[in-house]
Structure formats: C-alpha cells, structure tokens
Amino acid sequence: MKSIILSILFALQAINISGQFDLALIPDSLKLNADAVVLKNDERLEIFSKSKLIRTTSSEILVLNNNKNQINEIIIGYDQFTKVEELNITILAVDGKKIKTIKKKDFLDQVAEDGISVATDDRFLYYKVVENKSPYIIIKEIKTSSSQSLNIPGYSLYEGNKVSVLKSTFTITNFDINNRLRLKETILGKPTVDSTSMKHEYNWTFYNKTASRLKSERELNKIYSILPILENFQMDGVEGSLKNWQTFGVWLSKLNEGLDVLSEKAKDEIKTVIGFEKNEKEITKKLYRYLQENMRYVSIQLGIGGYRPMPAQSVHEFKYGDCKALSNYMKAILNVAGISSRYIIINAGKNALSPDPSDARNVFNHAILAVPFEKDTLFLECTSKDVSAGYQGSFTGNRLALLVNGEESGLVKTTHYNHTDNEIFNRFDIQIKKDLPAQINHQQKLKGIGTEFQSFHLTKNMSDEKFKIYLLDNIYKDISDLVVNTRKDTLSDGLPVFNMSATFSTERKILKSGERYFVETDLVNGNNELAYDLDKIREKCRIMYGLTITDTINIQIPVGCYIEKMPKVQLLKFDAGEIDVSTNNSDGAMLRIYRKITYYKGEYFMPDKGSVTDLLASIKKILAEKVVINCKS
C-alpha cells in the first residue's frame, strides 16, 4: 500500500517539479482500457449562508485517446441563481508546453433544452477540446456562485466511461454552523470531519480508481454521488425547511397560496360544464375530461416558477400550463363544485425511485392532483389527454409522493398496481399445411400497465396503416401477409384495456426441415420479457409492477403427422413469481399449450435461491422450448 501511495504522490508532483509529465509514473491499471486519467481533481463547496454558496473546481486531466470520451467536453451549467465567476482552461502537451488557453468568452452559451420546456432559464457554457494529437493535459479552474440553497450541486467520482482517477477530493466547508448540513450515505463512504466554532468541514479523498471499477460501481448503485442538503434553505427570497417532509410541504404550500383563484366569469363557465350532476365522483370525472379536452401541456421552468404554479385564472384564459399549473387549475375548478383536492409532487417515470421517508430532500420532477373520496382516492394525471380519471400506470403509480397541504403535508402512497391489475393475454391459433407457410391467428388483450407492453398505450391515435407498420417494427418479426383484423381501446374498472386481433404467415417461427416442423412457442417479439427493467441496487433487484402473462397456443396437427416433442408440463414457484405450463393432445389432431408467467412486485436479493434470478433463468429456458411435429409417412 505504501508503494502505491508513493507512486501516486510522485505522479501528482511530476508537472510541478519538471514542467514535464512522465506517463510511466501512472499505474498501468489506470491506463488499461482508459481514454483519460484524472490526475487530480479538487472540488470545494463553501457555504457562507442560505443565499451565498461558492463552488470551485481545480483539476488536471490526462487525455490518452483524443475525441473518444466526453471528458474533453467542458460543460458548466448556470441559471438566474447561479453565476460563473471565473473560468480558465489550459491545454498542455505532456512535455509541459502550453498548447492553448481557453477563456469564458471562447465558450458557447446555450439554453439547456430538456426537449419539453418552451421556457427555461437553465443555461450552460460549452467548449469541446479538439487536439490533433494525444496525449495532452486539460487543466481546469472554475468558480461559480449561487444565491439559492434548495438545490446544491453534488459531487461524483465518476467522470465518464473509460475514465480512471488517480486522485480526487471533495471538500464542503459550512460557515453557517447553525444551519445543519445533511449528507446521505452512499457507496462513496463517510467523510473526515473537522469542526470548530467557526466552521464545519467535511472531506472525501479518493485514490487509484480504475475506469472499469468506477463503471461497475456506478451501474450497481443508483446513488453514486455525494448530495449535500441544507436543512434551512431559501430560493428567490422565500425561506423554507427540509427538516422533514412536512416542513418542505409547508414551503410549497406557501408558494401555492392564492394561485387557485378563478374569476366569477370563469366559475360560471365551469358550473355550466358541471350541469345538473350531483355525484362528486362523476363531477370529478366530468371536470377532468373538460381539462383534457380544453387545456394543453406546456413546460415552463423559470426561476422559482419551476416550483410555483402559474395562476389558475391564467391557465383558464391561455388554455395551457405545465404539470404544476394544470394540477393547480384542476384543483381550482374542483373548488367551484365544492370538491376538496390535494396538490401532490412526485418523482415520475417508469422506474423512478420513491423518496426516502427518513431523508427529506427535493427529489421530485412532476405534479399531480389527489381527490379523496369516502372509500378511495382518485389520483389525476393532469398533463394527459387520454388516460381515464384515476389511472396512473407506470408513470406515477406504486410509489411515495409528497402531499402538499400546509401543516398536514406528508408522504402518501399512490395507486398500487399488482399482477392481477397488469395483464397480457395472447391466443395463437396455428394452422400448418404441408408445403405452405404456416398461418397464425393472434388475439391479444392488454390490461392496466400491460397496455404499456411495447408502448401500445401510445398507439391510440395511429391510423390503421401506421399501426400495421408499428406492429411489424415492434412485435412481429420476419413475417409476411400481416392483416390487422380488429383493434380497440376500452376501460375495465378504471383500467385501460387494449384488444387486437391479427393474422399473418411465418416461416421464421415455424420452420420446416425435411419431414419435420419446428414450432417456436415464443411467438411475439419480447412478449414474455419483463415489461419493466430490473432495477439493480447493489445486490438487490426490484420489480416495480406485478405482471401476469398468459399464452394459449393451439396448433392444428396436419393429417398423417404426429407430435414428436412438446413442452414439459410443470409448475415452478419462486419468491419473485411463478410459471405454470400444461399441454393437451388428447385427440391427436390439436395440441393445446397453456403457459402462465407471473411476476410479483417487490425487492429481491439476486444471489438468493428461489429469487428473481432463478425465475428469469427458468422463463428463458421455457420460452426456448419448441414443438416438433413429425410428418414422416
């Protein structure tokens, strides 16, 4: 260990001692499969108050393979609360000679577009270092200041794919000692702490991290950054607290005050929509349809407006708003009917993580509305044009969210969807004729989050011709003569249901070789793959949504032929799900295969016997089974 530390220290001092850099001083392990090596990186965050934070970065990066990694792309973000105070970049050859100096004026100043916002004050400075010959060294000196403390940029040891780290340090100095700094424990470990009556200082130091190790650690850990939180913060002069979820909800409630007010003219228009309906749930659904039909989603993220909705009256007049504005507007029009509702912020996305109940922090990216009734609660996705009232799907279902209601704010659970709600049904009727391509009739029914299988929930407005192309691109591979017979979107108990039937010919899924036919039993592309990615968290694996997939395969046996091989009948049970396979060929003319695969929502340890690992391995094996039909006379 001592020799390793000494070699690192010699490498770090090489430039300062001689003006030249000796590549031989870098450990071979750091150069192996690396496009760049961070020689030293010193990042410092100084907190003087809730409205004054200074961040400095001083780094030296050895680029081994030019233009092969984002390490030579320098990106510095800023907004109305963050200023770039100093920016100096120097490019050196390894012999110590200066190649060029890059100043702030040399950077491109661009809007940080997210693909959905029409207005945002997030911007970034961008410069790409392009040299004709490598290796070379990039020296960066950057200083930024921030006047808000709700969102404090963190630190990550990971600098990019194929980038090793010789030495990297991160230091936080909190001079506002009465304002508690909170740190979430991560794989990066705990800091050394130096506390005095004037400051609290936290330091992390990392040595000798190979590119492959950094990549594997990052892939296995969702939280691979140090993310500091100040319990008492301010943004745009509005002070708040992240002591717990209730205090954060109080701050958001303060931002929303007075924004759900409508003019008398607007109220009269809403009363006309309500008509003579008296049932509160039916009124809610009626007003939700009104919102969907008359308002459009437009993302606007300007300053504190990224957290404060635009007034409901403005939404009513302009007919647009972002998730916050539309949710607040829905709340306002429900008020006209005397129906109480609650504004909610949530972390949206198919595999988005729930907030940690014990660690209040700003981890949300979306807003919805909750309407509580006596026996249930309707969660309304106010940015959608077509989902039914109360349906959340994989976007916001099955997770914790923050209900914003003053002193009564706190975390709540959104709608839970399990394997009985989310279903995929397939029936395949296969007719095999000698010397002709096999004909298959396919009937499919998708329910709940099952409608998101291969993104079918996005096909509602497609023309028949575009839908046919969509099927060929996504679920039917290597087929011919596709005819879509029916397609229909309906509802069942508030859950979306999609039905489709189609016929096609195939020589790929049913292959003839000599006198034998080899029939695959996995007939639709990706049909039995888990609909949602397995989220690896260290040694754990998470299935967010239960799912049931049922396949019925009926194969007409040609006259004079017999079944030589068929799937094995079995019932396999695991912690994460089960598999049920049965067959029937009692009359000799028809082989009936029934297969049911069930995934259970939950977290599972990958190495455990009977866990999701064994379930997936068994499913893969079962789907690979073929039916062999022998027609030898």
| Nearest CA among 323, 572, 457 for reference residue 582 | 572
Banded model confidence at residue 273, pLDDT cuts 50, 70, 90: very high
Vertex 467: Cα angle to 463 and 473 (nearest 5): 150
Q: For strand 320-321 and strand 296-297, is the pairing parallel, antiparallel, or unpaired? A: parallel
Question: H/E element holding 274?
Answer: helix 264-274
Position 501 confidence tier, pLDDT thresholds 50, 70, 90: very high
Per the document, the length of the chain is 633
**Token couple for 236:** 């745009």
What is the rounded average pLDDT of the residues 242-254? 96
* pLDDT at res. 185: 78
Amino acid at 632: K
The two three-digit tokens of residue 356, written as one number: 């940690």
Distance CA 78, CA 76 (A): 7
Model confidence at 608, in pLDDT bands (50, 70, 90)? low
Mean pLDDT of 368-378: 92
Helix (H) or strand (E) holding 17: helix 2-18
Question: Is pLDDT at 346 greater than 70 in this prediction?
Answer: yes
| Contact criterion met (CB below 8 Å) for 424 and 453 | yes
Q: In the prediction, which pLDDT does 513 show?
A: 87
Q: Are 137 and 14 in contact (CB under 8 A)?
A: no
So what's the pLDDT on residue 472? 86
Q: Confidence band (pLDDT; 50, 70, 90) for 120?
A: low
CA 367 to CA 402: how far, in whole Å?
9
**Tokens 């507007």, residue located:** 329
pLDDT score of 474: 82
Prediction pTM value: 0.85
* Whole-angstrom distance, CA of residue 486 vs CA of residue 474: 18
pLDDT at 301 over 80: no
The residue that leads in pLDDT, 607 or 29, is 29
Q: From CA 552, how far away is CA 438, in angstroms rounded?
A: 17
How confident is the model at residue 115, as a pLDDT? 44
pLDDT level of residue 378 (50, 70, 90 thresholds):
very high
Q: Give me the pLDDT at residue 477, please.
A: 73
Taking the C-alpha atoms of residue 138 and residue 63, their distance in angstroms, rounded to an integer, is 7
Percent of the chain with pLDDT over 70: 90
Written as one string, the DSSP assignment of 189-223 is -PPEEEE-SS-EEEEEEEEEE-HHHHHHHHHT-S-
What's the pLDDT at 69?
66
> pLDDT of 167-201, one tens digit each?
999 999 999 999 999 998 788 889 999 999 999 99
Q: Give just the sign of the alpha carbon dihedral 57, 60, 63, 66.
A: positive
Q: Which residues contact residue 213 at a Cβ distance below 8 angstroms, ignoring those fewer than 6 apart?
A: none
Distances (CA, A) of 298 to 110, 364, 383: 21, 18, 9
Please report where in the chains the tokens 């099955």 appear, as a residue.
Answer: 398
Task: For 66-162, list the strands marked E by DSSP.
Answer: 73-78, 82-93, 98-103, 108-111, 117-120, 123-128, 136-146, 155-156
Using the predicted structure, report yes or no on whether residue 105 has a pLDDT greater than 50: yes
What pLDDT is stored for residue 19 in this prediction? Answer: 56
**HSE on the CB side for 11, CA within 13 Å?**
25
pLDDT at residue number 209: 92
203-222: pLDDT as tens digits: 999 999 999 888 888 776 66
pLDDT mean over 552-564: 92
DSSP state, residue 452: G
Where is pLDDT greater, at 167 or 606?
A: 167
* High-pLDDT (> 90) share of the chain, %: 57
Tokens 């003087």 map to which residue?
48
Q: How far apart are CA 252 and CA 367, in angstroms?
A: 12
**Binning pLDDT at 50, 70 and 90, where does residue 540 land?**
low
Query: pLDDT confidence of 1, banded at 50, 70, 90?
Result: very low
Q: Report yes or no: 130 and 67 within 8 Å, Cβ to Cβ.
A: yes
Mean of all residue pLDDT scores within the chain: 87
Omega before 135 within 30 of 0, i.e. cis: yes
Other residues' Cβ atoms within 10 Å of the Cβ of residue 291:
25
How far is residue 586 CA from its own chain's centroid? Answer: 48
What Cα–Cα distance (Å) separates residue 431 from each residue in 287, 393, 442, 631? 50, 37, 12, 14
* Residue 449 φ/ψ, nearest 5 degrees: -70, -15
Highest mean pLDDT among 345-354, 368-377, 523-532: 368-377
276 pLDDT higher than 90: yes
Residue 507 tokens read as 């020589």
Please, which residues have CB within 8 angstroms of residue 587's CB and are 6 or more apart in sequence? Answer: none
Of 394-398, 497-501, 508-512, 548-552, where does mean pLDDT reach its minimum? 508-512
Residues 577-586 pLDDT 10s: 999 999 999 8
| Four-point Cα dihedral 364, 367, 372, 377, nearest 10 | -80
Residues linked to residue 430 through DSSP beta bridges, in sequence order = 440, 555
Residue with the bigger pLDDT between 473 and 192: it is: 192
Q: Which domains does the chain have, with CATH numbers?
A: 2-225 (2.60.40.3140), 245-413 (3.10.620.30), 423-630 (2.60.120.1130)
Mean pLDDT of 291-300: 88
CA dist 438 and 121 (Å) reads 59
Among the listed ranges 244-258, 367-381, 496-510, which one has the minimum average pLDDT value? 496-510
Residue with tokens 């929509």: 273
pLDDT in tens, 16-40: 434 566 778 889 899 888 999 999 9
C-beta separation of 252 from 410 below 8 A: no
Q: How confident is the model at residue 10 (pLDDT cuts 50, 70, 90)?
A: very low
Q: What is the pLDDT of residue 320?
A: 92
Q: What is the pLDDT of residues 408-436, one digit of tens each?
A: 999 999 998 899 999 999 999 999 877 77
- Distance CA(55)–CA(84), nearest Å, equals 10
Higher pLDDT: 456 or 246? It is 246
